């Protein structure tokens, strides 16, 4: 119980007068509000830094500052992490997914303000990433710690974390329905009546908070002008295929650059190398600076020249192929710049880079179709720009419903629903075939810690391996004879299985079942003659605690038909897992997660 007597009395009063369900509804509103405030703080802090740097130093002095800014920004972020927060601030949404998967929805307190201190500096000083991920992480950490403050159970805590994610997205884009779908799709939340209302309340309170602080200002102020023509459907299918290809490129480049930076041991080397590389890119290609929403808005408004006017070669933008080449270059280099930002230690998200690349990709496809003369009536460049964003969101984030509803809400209607569905479905299905996990879930997927909508898999992921390991098995040495086995193991154990381990290395060498010696264990003439090595044999399978996740362990039991399997760590024996205990733990976890 809390030490504060006033708060303790409040909890007692709440337990008497407010039901658990009603209190969860109240907390979801609070979490939505705090997520909205977090989004406001992050956005304003970032825009203040960008205004100070771009509109003051760059505009009135020299564009060479573009080269210097990222190095300064990454250095400041590193110093804040080392000396102020004293913790590493991880990428927003992956860190939240990890907390749900392996920490029972518990997020550390510093995560409530870590992204607020570091993300605005990263993006404001030129880091080519977005603010959506840090905003979601901030809101999720607030939701987690609020639920912990009021002693909520694990399932409620996970629900409030998802409410925070919905609130953050609702506040940023002013798209409450897409925000709810985002929380369900990305966080693999079960959609039930019990979870739907809290998500609605959180999304609503967050968007009202956003309206209070920002008024009617919208991040992507789109208004649908051109209607969808059924004759354009094949071209939207083509856009879906291109989106899938770009999504695969996005994921591969991101993964490889992250792996490269992981090999660089020194944080100073990462900051220096990443800062110099991103500085060169931003100096040569200024549209890569920051989130890039201004470029997106120019493309939708039909002004690509305005977005490209700062090209370092001063190329003639009246040439069609020059414009196409520059736009393709932005798509090609944006993910490189984003991955370099992360590798250098910057804090941000990949939602905005995905929208940036998707909008340019869609605009390019429309321009090429119209220029080629394939159609008698030109396709809508603004519509393709919008649908291109949905296609890349569906492929990179592997969240097709979020992509469809986000763009539909941003355009103020659902007239683009058919092309959005065509492009998103194709982009998602093709990308999923070649890349099983999204950028958000890539690392967790490789480790087997990813939560999915598959209930069995989700429950197994939540289970703790250490909690089901049993150590009350009498170990024996391979050098022991039958008499020693009977006296030292059989008579002292109530189990019918005995691990055989090396005396020096403690490594598992085999097992002996009671049935293996039952027929000879009372024949004292064999006590000195028969050795453990004569009767031991290999177990049906072995569980490696460092490598095997619960899903793998369950499969090993299923394939081997064993009731007990030995557990090793680096080859050293540590105990057994029994099928009965595993199933009991599974049932308990299932009950805990569904109530």
Say if CB 450 and CB 461 are below 8 A apart: yes
Same domain? For 445 and 491 the reply is no
Choosing from 179, 214, 249, the residue where a domain stops is: 214
Question: Is a pLDDT exceeding 60 seen at residue 348?
Answer: yes
Closest CA to 78 of 299, 322, 244, 272: 272
Distance of alpha carbon 586 from alpha carbon 584, whole angstroms: 5
Neighbours of 264 (CB within 10 A): 16
Report DSSP letters for 442-457, one per residue. HHHHHHT----S-HHH
| Range with the poorest average pLDDT among 208-222, 407-421, 484-498, 543-557 | 208-222
Q: What number of residues does the chain have?
A: 595
pLDDT > 90 in the chain, percent: 14
Same domain? For 151 and 196 the reply is yes
b (16+ CB within 10 A) / e for 493-514: bebebbbbbeeeeeebbbbbee
Confidence of residue 364 (pLDDT cuts 50, 70, 90): very high
**Cα 115 off chain centre by:** 15
Say if CB 393 and CB 238 are below 8 A apart: no
Instruction: For CA atoms 378, 381, 386, 391, give the dihedral sign.
Output: positive
Give a yes or no: residue 414 inside a domain.
yes
Confidence of residue 147 (pLDDT cuts 50, 70, 90): confident
Place of tokens 């990709």: 361
Please compute the mean of the pLDDT values over residues 282-293 and round it to a whole number. Answer: 81
537 DSSP 8-state letter? B
Question: Is a pLDDT exceeding 90 seen at residue 246?
Answer: yes
Bin 345: left if φ > 0, else alpha if -120 < ψ < 50, else beta: left
Question: Is a pLDDT exceeding 90 seen at residue 395?
Answer: yes
Same domain? For 163 and 254 the reply is no
| Residues whose CB is less than 8 angstroms from the CB of residue 31 and which lie 6 or more positions away in sequence, other chains included | 139, 142, 143, 146, 160, 163, 164, 167, 202
Same domain? For 125 and 243 the reply is no
Please compute the mean of the pLDDT values over residues 568-576 and round it to a whole number. Answer: 86
pLDDT at 248: 95
pLDDT at 463: 60
Distance of alpha carbon 404 from alpha carbon 390, whole angstroms: 6
Please compute the mean of the pLDDT values over residues 23-43 and round it to a whole number. Answer: 89
Same domain? For 210 and 330 the reply is no
Question: Is a pLDDT exceeding 90 seen at residue 388?
Answer: yes
Q: Which domain holds residue 326?
A: 230-452
Say if CB 351 and CB 336 are below 8 A apart: no
The better pLDDT of the pair 449, 156 is held by 156
- Helical H runs in 264-319? 267-284, 293-300, 304-308
Report DSSP letters for 450-481, one per residue. ---S-HHHHHHHHS-GGGGEE-----EETT-B
Question: Is a pLDDT exceeding 70 seen at residue 522?
Answer: yes
b (16+ CB within 10 A) / e for 566-589: bbbeeeebbbbbbbeebeebbeeb
Same domain? For 447 and 462 the reply is no
Say if CB 390 and CB 426 are below 8 A apart: no
Same domain? For 303 and 421 the reply is yes
Same domain? For 52 and 94 the reply is yes
Tally the domains of the chain.
Answer: 3
The structure tokens listed for 239 are 């856009």
pLDDT in tens, 403-462: 999 988 887 657 888 999 999 999 999 999 998 877 777 665 555 545 544 444 555 555
Say if CB 96 and CB 111 are below 8 A apart: no
Question: Is a pLDDT exceeding 70 seen at residue 101?
Answer: no
The better pLDDT of the pair 438, 143 is held by 143
Distance of alpha carbon 374 from alpha carbon 368, whole angstroms: 9
The better pLDDT of the pair 188, 177 is held by 177
Q: How many CA atoms lie within 13 A of 285 on its CB side?
A: 21
Same domain? For 355 and 390 the reply is yes
pLDDT at 165: 87
Give a yes or no: residue 399 inside a domain.
yes
Question: Is a pLDDT exceeding 70 seen at residue 273?
Answer: yes
The better pLDDT of the pair 388, 322 is held by 388
Question: Is a pLDDT exceeding 90 seen at residue 586?
Answer: no
Give a yes or no: residue 220 inside a domain.
no
The structure tokens listed for 3 are 């030490």
Choosing from 162, 184, 214, the residue where a domain stops is: 214
pLDDT at 240: 95
- Pairing mode of beta strands 564-569, 543-544: parallel
Give a yes or no: residue 221 inside a domain.
no
The structure tokens listed for 43 are 């956005």
The structure tokens listed for 591 are 């009950």
Please compute the mean of the pLDDT values over residues 39-63 and round it to a whole number. Answer: 74
Distance of alpha carbon 192 from alpha carbon 187, whole angstroms: 14
Please compute the mean of the pLDDT values over residues 181-195 and round it to a whole number. Answer: 73
Question: Is a pLDDT exceeding 70 seen at residue 534?
Answer: yes
The better pLDDT of the pair 389, 588 is held by 389
Place of tokens 């990179």: 396
| Range with the poorest average pLDDT among 124-133, 213-222, 442-451, 546-555 | 442-451
pLDDT in tens, 67-94: 788 888 889 988 998 888 888 777 667 7
| Residues whose CB is less than 8 angstroms from the CB of residue 531 and which lie 6 or more positions away in sequence, other chains included | 478, 479, 480, 481, 482
CATH number for the domain harbouring residue 164: 1.10.3080.10
Same domain? For 444 and 577 the reply is no
Instruction: From residue 555, give the alpha-carbon distance in Å to each of 174, 455, 513, 560, 562.
Output: 44, 16, 22, 8, 11
CATH number for the domain harbouring residue 493: 3.10.580.10
Distance of alpha carbon 286 from alpha carbon 307, whole angstroms: 9
Give a yes or no: residue 356 inside a domain.
yes
Same domain? For 438 and 466 the reply is no
- Torsion, Cα of 471, 474, 478, 484 (10° steps): 170
Choosing from 182, 214, 246, the residue where a domain stops is: 214
b (16+ CB within 10 A) / e for 166-194: bbbbbbbbbbbebbbbbbbbbbbbbeeee
| Range with the poorest average pLDDT among 300-309, 455-464, 475-484 | 455-464
| Range with the poorest average pLDDT among 199-203, 240-244, 454-458 | 454-458
Neighbours of 297 (CB within 10 A): 18
The structure tokens listed for 411 are 């355009």
Same domain? For 428 and 503 the reply is no
- Torsion, Cα of 31, 33, 35, 40 (10° steps): -170
pLDDT at 65: 65
Give a yes or no: residue 149 inside a domain.
yes
Question: Is a pLDDT exceeding 80 seen at residue 330?
Answer: yes
Place of tokens 């000396």: 83
Please compute the mean of the pLDDT values over residues 318-326 and round it to a whole number. Answer: 81
Give a yes or no: residue 219 inside a domain.
no
Terminal-residue alpha carbon distance, the chain: 23
pLDDT at 515: 83
Over its C-alpha atoms, the chain yields an Rg (Å, rounded) of 29
pLDDT at 290: 76
Distance of alpha carbon 60 from alpha carbon 568, whole angstroms: 65
Give a yes or no: residue 205 inside a domain.
yes
What are the backbone dihedrals phi and psi of residue 19, each rounded to the nearest 5 degrees, phi first?
-70, 160
Q: Between helices 267-284 and 65-79, what is the axis angle to 10°?
A: 150
Question: Is a pLDDT exceeding 90 seen at residue 225?
Answer: no
């Amino acid at each position: 119980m809390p030490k504060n007597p006033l708060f303790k009395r409040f909890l007692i009063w709440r337990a008497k007068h407010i039901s658990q369900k009603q209190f969860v509804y109240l907390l979801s509103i609070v979490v939505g509000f705090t997520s909205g405030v977090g989004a406001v703080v992050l956005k304003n802090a970032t825009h203040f830094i960008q205004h100070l740097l771009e509109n003051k130093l760059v505009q009135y002095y020299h564009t060479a500052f573009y080269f210097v800014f990222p190095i300064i920004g990454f250095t400041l972020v590193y110093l804040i992490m080392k000396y102020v927060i004293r913790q590493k601030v991880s990428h927003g949404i992956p860190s939240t997914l990890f907390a749900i998967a392996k920490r029972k929805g518990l997020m550390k307190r510093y995560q409530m303000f870590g992204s607020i201190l570091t993300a605005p500096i990263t993006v404001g000083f030129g880091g080519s990433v977005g603010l959506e991920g840090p905003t979601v992480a901030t809101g999720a950490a607030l939701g987690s710690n609020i639920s912990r403050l009021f002693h909520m159970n694990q399932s409620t805590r996970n629900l409030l974390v998802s409410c925070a994610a919905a609130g953050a997205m609702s506040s940023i884009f002013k798209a409450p329905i897409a925000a709810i779908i985002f929380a369900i799709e990305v966080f693999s939340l079960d959609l039930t009546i019990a979870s739907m209302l809290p998500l609605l309340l959180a999304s609503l309170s967050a968007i009202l908070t956003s309206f209070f602080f920002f008024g009617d200002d919208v991040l992507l102020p789109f208004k649908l002008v051109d209607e969808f023509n059924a004759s354009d459907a094949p071209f939207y299918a083509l856009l879906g295929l291109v989106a899938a290809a770009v999504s695969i490129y996005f994921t591969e480049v991101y993964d490889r650059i992250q792996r490269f930076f992981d090999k660089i041991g020194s944080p100073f080397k990462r900051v220096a190398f990443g800062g110099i590389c991103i500085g060169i890119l931003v100096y040569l290609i200024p549209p890569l600076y920051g989130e890039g929403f201004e470029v997106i808005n120019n493309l939708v408004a039909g002004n690509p020249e305005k977005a490209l006017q700062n090209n370092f070669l001063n190329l003639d933008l009246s040439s069609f192929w020059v414009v196409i080449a520059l736009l393709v270059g932005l798509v090609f280099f944006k993910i490189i710049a984003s991955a370099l930002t992360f590798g250098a230690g910057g804090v941000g998200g990949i939602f905005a880079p995905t929208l940036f690349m998707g909008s340019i990709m869609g605009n390019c496809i429309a321009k090429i179709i119209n220029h080629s003369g394939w159609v008698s009536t030109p396709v809508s460049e603004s519509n393709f720009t919008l649908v291109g964003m949905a296609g890349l969101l569906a492929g990179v984030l592997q969240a097709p419903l979020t992509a469809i509803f986000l763009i539909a809400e941003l355009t103020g209607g659902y007239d683009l629903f058919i092309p959005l569905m065509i492009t998103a479905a194709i982009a998602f299905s093709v990308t999923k075939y070649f890349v099983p996990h999204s950028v958000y879930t890539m690392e967790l997927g490789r480790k087997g810690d990813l939560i999915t909508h598959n209930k069995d898999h989700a429950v197994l992921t939540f289970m703790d391996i250490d909690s089901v390991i049993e150590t009350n098995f009498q170990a024996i040495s391979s050098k022991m004879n039958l008499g020693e086995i009977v006296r030292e193991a059989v008579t002292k154990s109530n189990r019918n299985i005995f691990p055989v381990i090396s005396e020096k290395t403690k490594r598992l060498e085999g097992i002996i079942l009671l049935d293996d010696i039952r027929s000879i264990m009372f024949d004292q003439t064999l006590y000195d003659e028969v050795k453990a090595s004569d009767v031991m044999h290999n177990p049906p399978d072995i569980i490696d605690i460092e490598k095997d996740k619960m899903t793998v362990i369950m499969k090993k039991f299923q394939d081997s038909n064993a009731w007990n399997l030995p557990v090793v760590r680096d080859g050293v024996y540590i105990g057994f897992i029994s099928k009965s205990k595993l199933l009991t733990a599974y049932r308990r976890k299932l009950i805990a997660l569904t109530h």
